Amino acid sequence: MRYLKAIAQDLGQTGQANTVLLKFYNDMLCLPEQQVGIAVAVDHTGDALVDFAMAGDIDLDGRFSLRDQHLLRAFTDVFLQLNWFNQGGNEQRYLKMLAENYHHDGSPNVVKLEFHEDCTASGPQTLVYRAAGYDGDNDGIFESFTNSDVDGNGIADTADKELIRRLIKSFLAFDAWSTRLRS
């Protein structure tokens, strides 16, 4: 199973996230998880939009390209709207995203968003809440979403569903959820 661990940090101590780390993992049964990619994005201006991005090969196509930069910016611009970040440079609070392919046809049916907050830097993972999107008819369009307050404003509304939809769309564009081999 492959998954993404997205970490937002407030390195400037301004009360809002300005740095995002994306860590891509491959987790094989009975083996330690393996980090297969990393990307960094920075919002210097405080407008919740990426000003600097260093993507690496985040679409795992074997090349560092402009496409990697666009994918990173698209995901990070949405992720920064969640208000789920760490004070300073720690990584205790993060979003874990993974896709499930129940039909085994190469197209995901469910994308899960798991919001974690660890009590200590090396402590166990604590799941705070979840959100998900569902493609019920397996047509590649996610039409159903959990009723979750992902933007942290205290109300689960259509804005939250739109954020979930946009996060799922930008996550799936990485193509990192797929376990198929790349050549």
For the cut 80, the answer to whether the pLDDT of residue 119 exceeds it is no
* Phi, psi dihedrals of residue 102, rounded to the nearest 5°: -70, -25
Q: What is the mean pLDDT of residues 164-172?
A: 95
Q: What is the mean pLDDT of residues 77-92?
A: 92
pTM of the complete model beyond 0.85: yes
Rounded to whole angstroms, how far apart are CA atoms 71 and 25?
A: 17
Give the percent of the chain with pLDDT over 90. 52
| Amino acid of residue 127 | L
pLDDT at 121: 62
pLDDT at 165: 96
Half-sphere exposure for 54 (CA within 13 Å, toward CB): 5
Kindly indicate the confidence band of residue 155, based on its pLDDT and cuts at 50, 70 and 90. Answer: very high
Rounded to whole angstroms, how far apart are CA atoms 118 and 76?
A: 22
pLDDT at 178: 57
* Contacts for 150-157: CB closer than 8 Å, 24+ residues apart: 150/82, 150/84, 150/113, 150/115, 151/81, 151/82, 151/83, 152/82, 152/83, 152/84, 153/83
Rounded to whole angstroms, how far apart are CA atoms 120 and 117?
A: 9
Rounded to whole angstroms, how far apart are CA atoms 26 and 177?
A: 9
Bridge partners for 98 per DSSP: 3, 112
pLDDT at 182: 38
